[in-house]
């Protein structure tokens, strides 16, 4: 195998595959290193009933839009894996599976990158880091205070209710994973105790359409990070919770409470046998509802401005209110046998030994282009638009970086920016 390439792509998920497609289309020699197997995270890090929360028509990998017959449906886990595998088969990327990249460094003197992998040393003129940002599951240290007889899982390890021991389940966190896992357990007949955080919720359908269809029509998915009114915070914000399960529906935690799910504020402390909660359940539920209603009002304004004919809907009415704040719970008395930590992930770019990161370990970049000549990132949330870390927007980002890479191949030395800019403006 050749040990030097024009471009090395790190990561063979949908981002890395998209980058490979765009480079192959432009005739750029490259190789993709994938630590595991194509579709690995979707196959092994999702629960059995997992499905997309965005409709299938938004799956627009470069050169491979969703090929099925249910564009307004929501692919389930196995279908997502099949979609990615079929994508790879459609253009035969130069991918090496089961190869881990251990270190990326820059040889400034010879003007190339050095890539140490589990199968040897490689060099490249340019490198695209397409390994995403969800690397290490985050579980708070407070988890150590629970006894060993209580099963503890991160959301990435949960599969189904049958895999848990008998008894009640505590779910910590109400982002997309937390709410959907709580629903999965609830529908399976398990007693669920849910710690409600500050994540917003979204309507599923409104005034005759899926909300995603409205937002697409309104141009939201073309909004760049620089144009976003909350551009300083949006990358760190939790995603709105909603589900594509059973054809798609809203998740209203108040309805779950009516049906017997026990809701609390954020988890505050664990001492002796007591779970202690912050007194913010009402506030968190109200804030989530307010976000959902603000989305509806924005759609209302768009409909009115453009004189679109659309059915009207009655105003939302909260079906349940907390009668009193429950600030503590004896987990033994509540028969809690398992805890699922839906507390997110943290990035791990420690293997990238190139100075492009800020104080929080986030790579500095503009549309994926870093300040170090020839180094790029792809697939990060809000890298450029809302869809940058999803199936819907990766094609635009990959195509942009591919054009950038082609332009830089024409540059005789790293600081010749005029050639790059001239090429991109003319493309």
**According to the model, what pLDDT value does residue 233 have?**
78
- Mean pLDDT for the stretch of residues 165-185: 97
**According to the model, what pLDDT value does residue 159 have?**
98
**According to the model, what pLDDT value does residue 110 have?**
87
Residues 408 and 327 in one domain: no
Q: Give 28-84 pLDDT, tens digit per residue.
A: 999 999 999 999 999 999 999 999 999 999 999 999 999 999 999 999 999 999 999
**Is the confidence at residue 413, as pLDDT, over 90?**
no
- Token pair 């017997």 is found at 260
Residues 258 and 169 in one domain: yes
Q: Give 310-347 pLDDT, tens digit per residue.
A: 999 999 999 999 988 899 999 999 999 999 999 999 99
Strands (E), 311-386: 328-330, 336-341, 345-346, 375-377
Total-model pTM: 0.93
Nearest to 177 by CA among 344, 299, 317: 344
Q: Report d(CA 255, CA 85) in Å as an integer.
A: 38
Residue 81 corresponds to which tokens in the numbers above?
């894996």
Answer yes or no: are the C-beta atoms of 18 and 84 closer than 8 Å.
no
Q: Domain for residue 142, yes or no?
A: no
Which residues have CB under 8 Å from 162's CB, separation 6+? 188
Q: Report d(CA 349, CA 212) in Å as an integer.
A: 32
Please give the span between the terminal C-alpha atoms of the chain, in angstroms, as a whole number: 33
Q: Give 194-253 pLDDT, tens digit per residue.
A: 999 999 999 999 999 999 999 999 999 999 999 888 877 778 788 899 999 999 999 999
Residues 128 and 167 in one domain: no
Residue 260 sits in a domain whose CATH number is: 3.50.50.60
**According to the model, what pLDDT value does residue 312 have?**
95
Lowest mean pLDDT among 52-56, 130-134, 141-145, 335-339: 130-134
- Token pair 């909300």 is found at 211
Q: Domain for residue 80, yes or no?
A: yes
Count up the domains in the chain and report the number: 2
Residues 394 and 250 in one domain: no
- Mean pLDDT for the stretch of residues 268-280: 96
**According to the model, what pLDDT value does residue 234 have?**
79
Residues 221 and 326 in one domain: yes
Give residue 327's domain range. Answer: 148-341
**According to the model, what pLDDT value does residue 31 have?**
98
Residues 336 and 359 in one domain: no
């Amino acid at each position: 195998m050749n040990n030097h390439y024009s471009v090395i792509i790190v990561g063979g998920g949908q981002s890395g595959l998209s980058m490979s497609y765009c480079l192959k289309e432009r005739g750029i020699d490259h190789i993709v290193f994938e630590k595991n197997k194509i579709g690995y995270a979707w196959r092994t890090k999702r629960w059995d009933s997992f499905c997309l929360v965005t409709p299938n028509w938004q799956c627009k990998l470069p050169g491979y839009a969703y090929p099925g017959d249910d564009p307004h449906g929501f692919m389930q886990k196995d279908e997502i894996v099949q979609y990615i595998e079929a994508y790879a088969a459609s253009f035969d990327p130069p991918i090496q599976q089961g190869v881990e990249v251990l270190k990326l460094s820059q040889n400034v003197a010879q003007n190339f990158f050095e890539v140490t992998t589990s199968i040897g040393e490689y060099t490249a003129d340019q490198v695209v880091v397409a390994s995403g940002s969800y690397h290490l599951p985050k579980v708070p240290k407070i988890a150590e205070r629970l006894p060993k007889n209580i099963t503890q899982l991160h959301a990435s390890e949960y599969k189904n209710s049958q895999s848990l021991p008998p008894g009640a389940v505590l779910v910590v966190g109400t982002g997309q994973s937390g709410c959907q896992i709580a629903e999965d357990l609830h529908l399976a007949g398990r007693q669920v105790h849910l710690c409600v955080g500050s994540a917003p919720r979204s309507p599923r359908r409104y005034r005759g359409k899926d909300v995603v269809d409205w937002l697409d029509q309104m141009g939201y998915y073309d909004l760049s990070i620089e144009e976003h009114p909350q551009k300083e915070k949006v990358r760190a914000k939790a995603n709105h919770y909603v589900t594509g399960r059973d054809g798609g529906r809203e998740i209203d935690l108040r309805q779950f409470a009516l049906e017997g799910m026990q809701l609390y504020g954020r988890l505050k402390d664990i001492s002796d046998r007591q779970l202690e909660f912050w007194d913010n359940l009402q506030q968190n539920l109200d804030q989530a509802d307010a976000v959902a209603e603000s989305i509806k009002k924005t759609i209302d304004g768009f409909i009115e401005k453009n004189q679109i004919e659309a059915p009207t809907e009655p105003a939302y009415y909260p079906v349940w209110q907390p009668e009193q704040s429950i600030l503590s719970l004896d987990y033994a008395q509540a028969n809690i046998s398992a805890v699922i930590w839906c507390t997110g992930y943290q990035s791990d770019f420690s293997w990238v030994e190139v100075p492009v990161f800020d104080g929080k370990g986030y790579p500095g970049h503009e549309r994926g282009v870093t300040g170090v000549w020839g180094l790029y990132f792809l697939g990060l949330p809000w890298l450029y638009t809302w869809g940058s870390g999803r199936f819907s927007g990766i094609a635009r980002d990959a195509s942009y970086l591919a054009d950038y890479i082609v332009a830089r191949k024409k540059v005789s030395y790293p600081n010749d920016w005029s050639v790059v800019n001239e090429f991109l403006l003319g493309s």
